[in-house]
Structure 1
Amino acid sequence: MRTLGIFKRRKRVLVISWDGVPFSFLKKGMEEGRFPLFSKLITGGAFGRMTSVLPTISSVAWTSYMSGKNPGGHGIFGFIDRKPSPLSFFIPTGKDRKAEFIQEVLSREKKRVISINIPMTTPPFEVNGILVSGFLSTKIEKATYPPEFSRVLKEMGYIIDANPVKAKDRKDEYLEDLFLALRKRFELAERLIRERWDYFHLHVMETDRINHFFWKKKDERFWKFYSEVEELSISLAEKAKDALLILLSDHGFCTLKKEVFVNKYLEDGGYLFFDKEPPEDIRDISEKTVAYSLIPGRIYINLKGREEKGSVEPGDYERVREEVASYLEKLTVDGERVIKKVWRREEVYSGPYTDLGPDLILEPVDGFDLKGNLKKETLSGETHIEGMHTRDDAFLFVKEREFTKDNLSIYDLFPSILSEFSIKVSSDGEVCWRG
Structure 2
Amino acid sequence: MGSHSDLQTLLIGIDAACERVLEPLFDADELPTLASIFETGASGPLESQIPPWTASAWPSLYTGTNPGKHGVFSFLSFDGYDWDVVNATDVRERTVWELLDRHGETSVVVNVPVTHPPRTFDGALIPGYTAPEDPDCHPDGLLEEVRDAIGEYRVYPSREDGVDLADAYRSCVRTRGEAFRYLADRFDPSFGFVQFQATDSIFHRRPDDDVAIRTIYREVDRQIERTLDACDPDTVIVASDHGMGPYDGYEFRVNDFLRERGYVETQSGGRGMPTWATLRDRNLKEGEEATRDGGERTPLEHAMAAAASVGLTSQRLGGVLERVGLAEFVAERVPAELVSAGAEQVDFPESTAYVRSRIELGVRINLEGREPDGVVPPAAYESVRSELVDALRSVTTPDGEPVFETVAPREEYFHGPESDRAVDVVTVPAAFDHFLSATLRGDQFGQPSEPWNHKLEGVVAVAGDGVDPASGAGNAHLFDVAPTVLASLGVPADERMDGDVLPCVESAGTRQYPRFDGDRSVETADEDVERRLADLGYLE
TM-score range, shorter chain: 0.7 to 0.9
SS, match of residue 112 in structure 2: coil
Which residue of the partner structure matches residue 119 of structure 2? Answer: 125
Q: 1:95 to 1:260 in 2, by over 3 A?
A: same
SS, match of residue 145 in structure 1: coil
SS, match of residue 30 in structure 1: helix
Mapping of residues 172-251 of structure 1, within 5 Å:
173-195=164-186, 196-215=188-207, 217-251=208-242
SS, match of residue 220 in structure 1: helix
Which residue of the partner structure matches residue 321 of structure 1? Answer: 385
Residue 321 of structure 1, CA deviation? 1.2
Which residue of the partner structure matches residue 77 of structure 1? Answer: 73
Deviations 1:113-139 (A, max 9, x none): 100000011112222111101122214
Structure 2 letter corresponding to 1:227 = R
Residue 94 of structure 1, CA deviation? 0.3
Instruction: Tell me the distance in 1 between the aligned counterparts of 2:426 and 2:164.
Output: 36
The answer as to 2:394 corresponding to 1:330 is: yes
The answer as to 2:376 corresponding to 1:295 is: no
Instruction: Tell me the distance in 2 between the aligned counterparts of 1:11 and 1:220.
Output: 34
Deviations 1:309-358 (A, max 9, x none): 32223233222212211222233444254322113211111111111211
Which residues of structure 2 form unaligned runs of 5+?
A: 274-345, 507-540
Aligned counterpart for 1:107 among listed residues 101, 109, 117: 101
Which residue of the partner structure matches residue 431 of structure 1? Answer: 501
CA contact (8 A) 2:7 2:192 kept: no
Residue 97 of structure 1, CA deviation? 1.6
Structure 2 letter corresponding to 1:407 = N
Residue 59 of structure 1, CA deviation? 1.2
Aligned counterpart for 2:417 among listed residues 352, 359, 368: 352
Instruction: Tell me the distance in 2 between the aligned counterparts of 1:160 and 1:259.
Output: 31
Deviations 1:257-311 (A, max 9, x none): 554322112112221113x334421573354524444322221122222222322
Aligned counterpart for 2:429 among listed residues 364, 373, 381: 364
Instruction: Tell me the distance in 1 between the aligned counterparts of 2:379 and 2:484.
Output: 43
Aligned counterpart for 2:49 among listed residues 53, 62, 66: 53
Which residue of the partner structure matches residue 5 of structure 1? Answer: none
Which residue of the partner structure matches residue 4 of structure 1? Answer: none
SS, match of residue 15 in structure 1: strand
Identity %: 24
Which residue of the partner structure matches residue 511 of structure 2? Answer: none
Instruction: Tell me the distance in 2 between the aligned counterparts of 1:106 and 1:192.
Output: 17
Residue 208 of structure 1, CA deviation? 0.8
Which residue of the partner structure matches residue 489 of structure 2? Answer: 421
Structure 2 letter corresponding to 1:200 = G
Instruction: Tell me the distance in 2 between the aligned counterparts of 1:428 and 1:171.
Output: 47
Residue 64 of structure 1, CA deviation? 0.9
Deviations 1:3-57 (A, max 9, x none): xxxxxx7571011111111133223543455534333332211011011121111
CA contact (8 A) 1:114 1:197 kept: yes
Instruction: Tell me the distance in 2 between the aligned counterparts of 1:14 and 1:288.
Output: 48
Instruction: Tell me the distance in 2 between the aligned counterparts of 1:323 and 1:28.
Output: 45
Structure 2 letter corresponding to 1:310 = G
Structure 1 letter corresponding to 2:144 = R
Deviations 1:350-407 (A, max 9, x none): 111111211112112323222222x32333455774421112x110000042456632
Instruction: Tell me the distance in 2 between the aligned counterparts of 1:312 and 1:272.
Output: 13
Which residue of the partner structure matches residue 157 of structure 1? Answer: 152
Aligned counterpart for 1:88 among listed residues 82, 85, 92: 82
Which residue of the partner structure matches residue 479 of structure 2? Answer: 411
Instruction: Tell me the distance in 2 between the aligned counterparts of 1:286 and 1:127.
Output: 42
Which residue of the partner structure matches residue 272 of structure 1? Answer: 264
Instruction: Tell me the distance in 2 between the aligned counterparts of 1:221 and 1:67.
Output: 32
Q: 1:318 to 1:65 in 2, by over 3 A?
A: same
Tell me the TM-score normalized by structure 1. Answer: 0.88
SS, match of residue 434 in structure 1: coil
The answer as to 2:457 corresponding to 1:387 is: no
Instruction: Tell me the distance in 1 between the aligned counterparts of 2:351 and 2:110.
Output: 47
CA contact (8 A) 1:344 1:359 kept: yes
Aligned counterpart for 2:138 among listed residues 145, 153, 158: 145
SS, match of residue 144 in structure 1: coil
Instruction: Tell me the distance in 2 between the aligned counterparts of 1:134 and 1:220.
Output: 25
SS, match of residue 90 in structure 1: strand
Instruction: Tell me the distance in 2 between the aligned counterparts of 1:288 and 1:60.
Output: 26
Instruction: Tell me the distance in 2 between the aligned counterparts of 1:286 and 1:151.
Output: 45
CA contact (8 A) 2:42 2:472 kept: no
Which residue of the partner structure matches residue 42 of structure 1? Answer: 38
CA contact (8 A) 1:47 1:395 kept: yes
Deviations 1:56-83 (A, max 9, x none): 1111111111211111111111111212
Deviations 1:142-201 (A, max 9, x none): 3311111121233311011126x89xxx89732221111111222212323334110011
CA contact (8 A) 1:63 1:120 kept: yes
Aligned residues: 416
Structure 2 letter corresponding to 1:316 = A
CA contact (8 A) 1:79 1:92 kept: yes
Tell me the TM-score normalized by structure 2. Answer: 0.72
Q: 1:383 to 1:173 in 2, by over 3 A?
A: farther
SS, match of residue 225 in structure 1: helix
Structure 2 letter corresponding to 1:150 = L
